Amino acid sequence: MHPAIRIDGVTKRFGNVQALDGIDLEIAKGEFFGLLGPNGAGKTTLISALAGLVRPDAGRLAVMGHDVVAEYRAARRQLGVVPQELVFDPFFTVRESLEIQSGYFGIRDNAAWIDEILENLDLTAKADINMRQLSGGMKRRVLVAQALVHRPPVIVLDEPTAGVDVELRQGLWAFIRRLNRDGHTIVLTTHYLEEAESLCGRIAMLKQGRIVALDTTRNLLRRFSGHTLRLRLAPGHVLPDTLRARASAEAEGSRLFNLANCDEIEGILAGLRDAGCRIDDIEVGKPDLEEVFLRVMERG
Amino acid sequence: MDGFLTLLYKEVLRFWKVSFQTVAAPILTALLFLLIFSHVLERHVRVYENVSYTSFLVPGLVMMSLLQNAFANSSSSLIQSKVTGNIIFMLLPPISYAQFFAAFVLAAIARGIVVGLGVLLATLWLVDLSWRAPLWIAAFALLGGAIMGALGVIAGIWAEKFDQLAAFQNFIIVPLTFLSGVFYSIHSLPPFWQQVSHFNPIFYMIDGFRYGFFGVSDVPPLLSLGVVAACFVVLTVFTLWLLRIGYRLRA
């Protein structure tokens, strides 16, 4: 069985910049996959290569088993892309834009699905309004709708929530989650790492055109991050020698313990109690993708 | 096929939605040319026997408007889509480059013919036109519109900014159309400029188109048709090649 996306040895150079440097990646059908990396890491170039907007110098890409160059028409029917830039055609209304986009994919009577998308993205009231008159957030929703008109099994969202308010973000993710539950493969790039953490089952991190980490979100969190214990002692109290070496100093007299597991908390608190230390403030931190990201980027 | 038809429909709808600017304005411009030139030259210039200068002028103005607007349609649509970024909506779907080309060229022909017909209808009450060879009129109108539509696609693909497109239009298209015999017969030119005119493909479009009305022309209409058809084939092959390699559309 073909994976949803298969990328073999893809390279792309723009002048002196090696945008993609031998990318190999396979994304299974039904995955919610995150593509993370700093600006200029190659995320958008990779997505563009997948969509046929960028032609790789070497390597092959396939969507649902269809080569994006040799079988570009079949590949593009399988793919819906939400571009990063807020682009729109100022000549048309929201509904016209969606009808035209459906037609490009060879779908004539698509009114029922268009209505459903409009409703899910809270655009029904704006359906007959010209694109120029929409706010930035509304235009972003239309971009999502345009990517979905042909019911593609693979949906790529390139920074879909950049500059979008919280309400829309939550509504959008609820809709995308539902599409994922219905079997659509989702590929997401975002700078909001908490979004990637909560949505993506697997994540690839890119740096300078190379994949520097690829694993399930859970494994990445386990490998590169962990629980922490942050505490501040009452004035005049100091950590006992047995604990001092394990803690790092933080602002305002706080001390941070990196924990291998939560059981260690009990031992630390017992040590403090035995030393007669009084605690003013205490906080347990959960593993977080931002820390993973920073560590991977430092290492990569 | 549906993708092609939708792109064609969208391109026609695009100019039709702003028809005041894309259709009415060029018709008015052509009428102003006709009024001024006929007022100044009607009594002083006679190009063909039994054909008044104003009558001679009308087919030339119709064809000039048709050609300029065919070029404007494909070129302006492409540059707008590129600059605003919405060209992505046409590049992501499974539309082949040949379909892409055909849709833009046919929409350009459509706008050219709508404007040309508008100029013709608006001037019919001013002049007495004969219709000696309607098929020649149709052939040159279609081929002329197609050539300029293809040139518009090339210009729209090549240009990265509006001023580059304006330069293409002002320094290539406008001089070629104005110096193509719209306002005069090339026989009235000095021998050197007569020779130069023969290298202007738009001269053959205008001359052949005019032949369809009056049955007379500066060069044999079959020669004009041959030159125009050859130009169309060359431009089509070149434009399809540009689209196939994704020049300035797909990085």
Task: Report how far residue B120's alpha carbon sits from residue B123's, in angstroms, rounded to the nearest whole number.
Answer: 5
A78 part of contact set with chain B, CB < 8 Å: no
Q: Report whether A296 contacts A225 (CB < 8 A).
A: no
> What pLDDT was estimated at residue B146?
97
Neighboring chain A residues of B5 at a CB cutoff of 8 Å = 103
**Tens digit of pLDDT for each residue in A206-258?**
998 999 888 888 887 877 767 888 888 888 888 888 888 888 887 777 888 88
Q: Mean pLDDT over residues B32-37, rounded?
A: 88
Q: Mean pLDDT over residues A170-197, rounded?
A: 90
C-alpha closest to that of B68 among B168, B210, B195: B168
Task: Report how far residue B202's alpha carbon sits from residue B212's, in angstroms, rounded to the nearest whole number.
Answer: 16
Query: Which domains occur in chain A, in start order?
Result: 5-222 (3.40.50.300), 227-286 (3.30.70)
**Is the pLDDT assigned to residue A11 strictly greater than 60?**
yes
Using beta carbons and an 8 Å cutoff, which residues of B are at the interface with A?
1-3, 5-7, 9-10, 13-14, 17-18, 81, 84-86, 88-96, 246, 250-251
Tokens of B101: 């080309």
Q: Mean pLDDT over residues A93-110, rounded?
A: 94
Q: Report whether A285 contacts A230 (CB < 8 A).
A: yes
Task: Report how far residue B213's alpha carbon sits from residue B133's, in angstroms, rounded to the nearest whole number.
Answer: 6
C-alpha closest to that of A144 among A166, A122, A111, A112: A122
Residues 6+ positions from A99 with CB-CB distance below 8 Å: A110, A114
- pLDDT-based confidence at B1, cuts 50/70/90? low
Q: Mean pLDDT over residues B137-150, rounded?
A: 96
- pLDDT-based confidence at A299, cuts 50/70/90? confident
Which is more confident, A253 or A125?
A125
CA distances from A54 to A31, A50, A175 (A): 24, 8, 29
DSSP A253: G
- pLDDT-based confidence at A115, cuts 50/70/90? very high
Distance of residue A200 Cα from the nearest chain B Cα, in angstroms: 25
Neighboring chain B residues of A97 at a CB cutoff of 8 Å = 89
Distance of residue B92 Cα from the nearest chain A Cα, in angstroms: 6
Report CB contact under 8 Å: B5, A103.
yes
- pLDDT-based confidence at B233, cuts 50/70/90? very high
Report CB contact under 8 Å: A105, B3.
yes
> What pLDDT was estimated at residue A265?
87
Q: Report whether A217 contacts A197 (CB < 8 A).
A: yes
C-alpha closest to that of A269 among A249, A235, A236, A278: A278
**Is the pLDDT assigned to residue B30 strictly greater than 70?**
yes
Task: Report how far residue B204's alpha carbon sits from residue B181's, in angstroms, rounded to the nearest whole number.
Answer: 9
**Tens digit of pLDDT for each residue in B35-47?**
888 887 767 767 6
Nearest CA in chain A to B80: A89
- pLDDT-based confidence at B223, cuts 50/70/90? very high
**Is the pLDDT assigned to residue A288 strictly greater than 80?**
no
Q: Mean pLDDT over residues B208-214, rounded?
A: 93
Tokens of A147: 């990517």
Neighboring chain A residues of B6 at a CB cutoff of 8 Å = 100, 102-104
Which is more confident, A169 or A33?
A33
pTM for this prediction: 0.87
Q: Where are the alpha helices (DSSP H) in chain B?
A: 2-17, 19, 25-41, 53-84, 88-91, 97-123, 134-158, 162-168, 174-178, 191-197, 201-214, 221-245
Task: Report how far residue B161's alpha carbon sits from residue B163's, in angstroms, rounded to the nearest whole number.
Answer: 5
Q: Report whether A214 contacts A26 (CB < 8 A).
A: no
Neighboring chain B residues of A83 at a CB cutoff of 8 Å = 85, 88
Neighboring chain B residues of A61 at a CB cutoff of 8 Å = none
**Is the pLDDT assigned to residue A124 strictly greater than 90?**
yes
Of A76, A89, A91, the CB nearest to B92: A76
A174 part of contact set with chain B, CB < 8 Å: no
**Is the pLDDT assigned to residue B15 strictly greater than 80?**
yes
Task: Report how far residue B249's alpha carbon sits from residue A2's, in angstroms, rounded to the nearest whole number.
Answer: 30
Own/partner contacts of B82-88, CB < 8 Å, gap of 24 or more, are B82/B156, B82/B159, B82/B160, B82/B248, B82/B249, B83/B161, B83/B162, B84/A87, B84/A88, B84/A89, B84/A90, B85/A83, B85/A85, B85/A87, B86/A87, B86/A88, B86/A89, B87/B249, B88/A53, B88/A81, B88/A83, B88/A87
Task: Report how far residue A16's alpha carbon sits from residue A31's, in angstroms, rounded to the nearest whole number.
Answer: 34
Count how many pairs of residues, chain A against chain B, have C-beta atoms within 8 Å: 84
Of A76, A88, A91, the CB nearest to B14: A91
A77 part of contact set with chain B, CB < 8 Å: yes
Task: Report how far residue B95's alpha carbon sits from residue B92's, in angstroms, rounded to the nearest whole number.
Answer: 8
**Is the pLDDT assigned to residue A87 strictly greater than 80?**
yes
Q: Mean pLDDT over residues A169-198, rounded?
A: 89
CA dihedral B180, B185, B191, B196 (to 10 degrees): 10
Mean pLDDT of chain B: 91
**Tens digit of pLDDT for each residue in A128-179?**
999 999 988 889 999 999 999 999 999 999 988 877 778 888 888 888 999 9
**Is the pLDDT assigned to residue A264 strictly greater than 70?**
yes
Rg (CA), chain A: 24
Report CB contact under 8 Å: A91, B17.
yes
Task: Report how far residue A274's alpha carbon sits from residue A280's, in angstroms, rounded to the nearest whole number.
Answer: 16
Lowest model confidence (mean pLDDT) among A222-231, A261-270, B70-79, B116-125 = A222-231
